[in-house]
Amino acid sequence: MKKSLITVVCCVVLIGGGLWLVLKQSDQPAKNLEGIPASVQETRTPVPSEKVIDYGKLRDKSDKSLTELMEERKAPYGIEKGVDMVVKPDESIKVGQETVQMQEIIDEVRLKRGEILEIDLVTGARQVKPDEYGIHVVQPGENIWDIHFELLKDYYDNKGILLSQRVDEPDSLGFSSGVGKILKFSEDMVYIYNLKERKLETNLDLIYPLGKIVVYNMGHIFALLDRINYTDVQRIVFDGKTLWLPAER
């Protein structure tokens, strides 16, 4: 009788302890493989309407305040047509029917570059530098080389330097021009983002209207361009990975 009573008591204790552990674990937020609480990762805060940069309104010039805002943001970089929008990390872009948070694109870029994403586990907010990003909406028939060239041409136009349409072509011996070297190097400084599939891509093949964008980190691109003295552009050396600029005279 005593043995049976002891056995029953032990079973009750074990069952109670197991139930307590289950309830205790259920109180903890679920985590993914990286140890980030799922509740943090899945939280999506609605974007206020004033934080959405609408490409359609810019293209049609139907929103005067938005047009003026973009002109104001482009001015410090000395460009007008090279990019369609200059966007901040806490804003979203709308192209056609697609609206994407800029932070989502930035996270994709940083992961591709092998950078670590720092996340506030309480708020779920990404810890990023307050960079600005230039957005070019890809049109049918465009290629990445021409898109880069138009940005470069726009930049130098505002400096009073007119680039011919052939300045990026190799010379008679097949050697790349200085402008061609800049464009080739810049291919690794920009990213192509598929709006419909929400992912980065490596080329512009099979494009469709308003389907892809080219993303520039404005600080990185223009820090490079501002260091180049155009009178020495032919002395630039590009070894396939590094762009070597002539020493200042």
What digits encode the pLDDT tens for the residues 16-44?
Answer: 444 444 444 444 444 444 444 444 444 44
Q: Judge whether 43 lies within some domain.
A: no
Instruction: Say what the pLDDT of residue 209 is.
Output: 67
Q: Judge whether 34 lies within some domain.
A: no
Q: Judge whether 55 lies within some domain.
A: yes
Instruction: Say what the pLDDT of residue 84 is.
Output: 96
- Written in H, E and C, the secondary structure of 90-129 is CCEEEECCEEEEHHHHHHHHHHHCCCCCCECCCCCCECCC
Q: What are all long-range contacts of 99-103, with beta carbons under 8 Å and residues at least 24 apart?
A: 99/47, 99/52, 100/193, 100/195, 100/198, 101/47, 102/133, 103/128
Q: Judge whether 32 lies within some domain.
A: no
Most confident segment among 85-89, 109-113, 165-169, 210-214: 85-89
Q: Judge whether 15 lies within some domain.
A: no
The number of distinct structural domains making up the chain is: 1
Tens-digit pLDDT profile for residues 40-82:
444 445 555 669 999 999 999 999 999 999 999 999 999 998 9
Tens-digit pLDDT profile for residues 99-141:
999 999 998 888 877 655 555 555 555 554 568 999 999 988 8
Query: Which domain covers residue 182, as residue numbers?
Result: 48-244
Which residues have a Cβ under 8 Å from the Cβ of 225 and sit 6 or more positions away? 152, 155, 182
Q: Judge whether 36 lies within some domain.
A: no
Task: Read off the tokens for 107.
Answer: 């996270």
pTM of the complete model: 0.71
Q: Judge whether 21 lies within some domain.
A: no
Q: Judge whether 231 lies within some domain.
A: yes
